[in-house]
Amino acid sequence: MKQSYSKVYRIIHWAMAISFILLLITIFLRLTWMNKDNMAGIIEIYLSETGQVLSQEQLIVLAKQIRKPMWEWHIYIGYFLVGLFIIRFLLPFFGKMKISNPFDKRLNTKEKLQKWSYIIFYVGVVISLVTGLIIELGPKDLKKPMEEIHILSIYYLVPFVVIHLAGVLFAEFTDQKGIVSSIVSGKNEDKQV
Ligand code: HEM
């Protein structure tokens, strides 16, 4: 079915999409170029060439300090997403951006899968946001167990983005031509969500 997307739907969608892409960049940097063990290794090699030695703990402290300004963006984006998701979940009470029911009999299999992907994504996002908030603001003894759950976020986030983009492109090139431009400009003749 052809849909047009309201202004509020599009604003929330793109705020969400851009935030998650930035969040993924911070995760990517932490896992690669800004990995604390790699950076500690670089510092260690430089120091040994100049006849200086630091303990492994000191090297890691330095590496974490270098990473910190980058990682702070992960936390800022996290707080922004908490606000955004509170708005997203309040909107249906005002008749906007309703959360589709994947059990709706009128939906075909493809639409049901699409709606399920959103529900699973939202459940994952809520878990990531709550565990992130507890890591930052909660009691110290909960930090480790929450971190263990929080780092699993990558396992739903990356597959969701890949499946979502593939699904949208597939729709664009098959039966929903114009879907990409309608989530940007909102223009479409038929139903508005
Ligand atoms: C070029 C990039 C993207 C395009 C063209 C795009 C396009 C779309 C379109 C057309 C829809 C509406 C589908 C429908 O009618 O059900 C949608 C929904 C959605 N998109 Fe994207 N999307 C993009 C990136 C992203 C990213 C990076 C995320 C988050 C990681 C995301 C999260 C969502 C969510 C959660 C929904 C469902 C919103 C709801 O109805 O509750 N999108 N997207």
What's the pLDDT tens digit per position in 8-42? Answer: 999 999 999 999 999 999 999 999 999 999 999 99
pLDDT in tens, 52-90: 999 999 999 999 999 999 999 999 999 999 999 999 999
pLDDT in tens, 117-127: 999 999 999 99
Instruction: Report the pLDDT value the prediction gives residue 72, as an integer from 0 to 100.
Output: 98
1, 70 contact by CB (below 8 A): no
Residue 102 token pair: 């994947």
Q: Report how far apart the first and last C-alpha atoms of the chain are (Å, whole number).
A: 12
pLDDT-based confidence at residue 191 (cuts at 50, 70, 90): low
d(CA 43, CA 62): 9
Number of domains in the chain: 1
List the domain range (segments joined by +) for residue 157: 3-192
Residue 17 token pair: 């999409």
Task: Answer whether residue 2 shows pLDDT above 80.
Answer: no
d(CA 107, CA 101): 9
Q: Which atom of ligand 1 is nearest to the CA of 121?
A: 35
d(CA 192, CA 4): 5
Q: What is the mean pLDDT of residues 91-105?
A: 94
Q: How far is the CA of 10 from the centre of ligand 1 (A)?
A: 9
Amino acid type, 36: K
Instruction: Report the pLDDT value the prediction gives residue 192, as an integer from 0 to 100.
Output: 61
Q: How far is the CA of 69 from the centre of ligand 1 (A)?
A: 30
Residue nearest to atom 41 of ligand 1 (CA): 99
pLDDT-based confidence at residue 187 (cuts at 50, 70, 90): confident
111, 105 contact by CB (below 8 A): no
